[in-house]
Amino acid sequence: MNRACYQILHDTHYRYASPVSLAQQLAHLWPRACPWQRCLQHQLLVGPQPCQRQDGLDVFGNPLTRLVFERPHSELKVSARLEVEVLARPALDLHASPAWEQACAALRYSGQALDAQQLDAMRFRFESPYVHLKRQFADYAAACFPPGRPLLAAVDALMEKIYREFRFDAAATQVATPLLQVLEQRRGVCQDFAHLMLACLRSMGLSARYISGYLLTQPPPGQPRLIGADASHAWVSVYCPEQGWVDFDPTNNIRPALEHITLAWGRDFADVSPLRGVILGGGSHDPEVQVTVLPQGE
């Protein structure tokens, strides 16, 4: 199979303890166009009706919707309805990539002019709000990066190491849990594993970006697919000077293919959160989020 089509339902519901008088929200809920993916239909339903809505692109080229609310409201519902076609990616020989040291050297300042792709990659070499550069992360990754090893083979080994040594535990972390704590506890969720892999790669001198999206999951044998039981997913893309950007999913130890739907990319989760903003009032509140990924025709 060289293509797959999906319907995606992504519902977010805030119930506020007290009315919100003013609010501004940023929504990354429109899948970006990629060589391996196109969005066939997109609908964003918002209640209450915003006073202003602006659709555009963020600094990384991701579709972004800005919402402004200037009237009091006690709840907020944002529902995305998507139809996305995913195409098979070209086969890739990981051992045909240049040595990882060569990739690092290509990203160092040398006084030479950089092309547009290199300049774009440079944005993903440095620290970001949730990803810090530390010797501990480079030490953790070092065994996967012996001298002369092809870059993509080394990254593949790091992905497998994280998958093997860490346990998925939804109760172990929160969004702001420090990565050093994740490294020590050896448990977390897909967002943690993506951030950890980014920290390792950037601490080694490489460019890597955070990918936000969805993953088709399979219900247990004989059971129906549950509506709203899925979740957003996260993985990593590393820059290779010859092959360009190549994706890796450390949560599942696979290279993303037809089951992965790309939503947006940035330096880390802070850049591409599906919905975030600022409010005046509201009191305590926690969002209720439901996600469903349905193969076409199901």
- Distances in Å between the Cα of 79 and the Cα atoms of 11, 13, 73, 171, 292 are 4, 8, 17, 26, 12
DSSP string, 189-238: -HHHHHHHHHHHHHHTT--EEEEEEEE---PPTT-PPPTTBB-EEEEEEE
pLDDT at position 118, please?
A: 85
Q: Where are the beta strands (DSSP E) in 88-195?
A: 167-168, 187-188
Q: How confident is the model at residue 242 (pLDDT cuts 50, 70, 90)?
A: confident
Give the whole-angstrom CA distance, residue 220 versus residue 14. 30
According to the CATH classification, is domain 3-87+273-295 in 2.60.40.2250?
Answer: yes
pLDDT at 143 over 70: yes
Q: How confident is the model at residue 228 (pLDDT cuts 50, 70, 90)?
A: low
175, amino acid identity: V
Q: How confident is the model at residue 286 (pLDDT cuts 50, 70, 90)?
A: confident
Q: How confident is the model at residue 192 (pLDDT cuts 50, 70, 90)?
A: very high
Give the whole-angstrom CA distance, residue 55 versus residue 42. 12
Residue among 34, 85, 84, 35 at smallest CA distance from 60:
34
Per residue in 11-21, pLDDT (tens digit) is 999 999 999 99
pLDDT at position 225, please?
A: 64
pLDDT at position 24, please?
A: 96
Residue 118 class from Cβ within 10 Å (0-12 exposed, 13-18 middle, 19+ buried)? middle
pLDDT at 215 over 70: yes
CA of residue 201 relative to chain centroid, distance: 16
Task: Report the CATH fold assignment for 94-270.
Answer: C8orf32 fold (3.10.620)
64, amino acid identity: L
Give the whole-angstrom CA distance, residue 243 versus residue 100. 13
Q: How confident is the model at residue 285 (pLDDT cuts 50, 70, 90)?
A: confident
Helix (H) or strand (E) holding 133: none
Per residue in 43-93, pLDDT (tens digit) is 999 999 999 999 999 999 999 999 999 999 999 999 999 999 999 998 899
Q: How confident is the model at residue 193 (pLDDT cuts 50, 70, 90)?
A: very high
Helix (H) or strand (E) holding 35: none
Give the whole-angstrom CA distance, residue 93 versus residue 121. 21
pLDDT at position 156, please?
A: 98
Mean per-residue pLDDT over the chain, rounded: 92
pLDDT at 253 over 80: yes
pLDDT at position 245, please?
A: 96
CA of residue 119 relative to chain centroid, distance: 21
Rg (CA), the chain: 20
* Contacts of 157 by beta carbon, 8 Å cutoff, 6+ apart: 144, 149
Q: How confident is the model at residue 221 (pLDDT cuts 50, 70, 90)?
A: confident
pLDDT at 166 over 70: yes
Give the whole-angstrom CA distance, residue 67 versus residue 95. 46
Q: How confident is the model at residue 219 (pLDDT cuts 50, 70, 90)?
A: confident
DSSP string, 60-76: TS-EEEEEEE-S-EEEE
Per residue in 94-122, pLDDT (tens digit) is 999 999 999 999 888 766 777 888 889 99
Give the whole-angstrom CA distance, residue 16 versus residue 159. 40
All structural domains of the chain with their residue ranges: 3-87+273-295, 94-270
Per residue in 22-42, pLDDT (tens digit) is 999 999 999 999 999 999 999
Mean pLDDT over 206-235 rounds to: 83
pLDDT at 282 over 90: no
Q: How confident is the model at residue 226 (pLDDT cuts 50, 70, 90)?
A: low
pLDDT at position 174, please?
A: 86
Give the whole-angstrom CA distance, residue 26 versus residue 66. 5
Give the whole-angstrom CA distance, residue 29 versus residue 10. 8
Give the whole-angstrom CA distance, residue 200 versus residue 239. 14
Percent of the chain with pLDDT over 90: 82
Q: How confident is the model at residue 284 (pLDDT cuts 50, 70, 90)?
A: confident
Give the whole-angstrom CA distance, residue 172 versus residue 19. 32
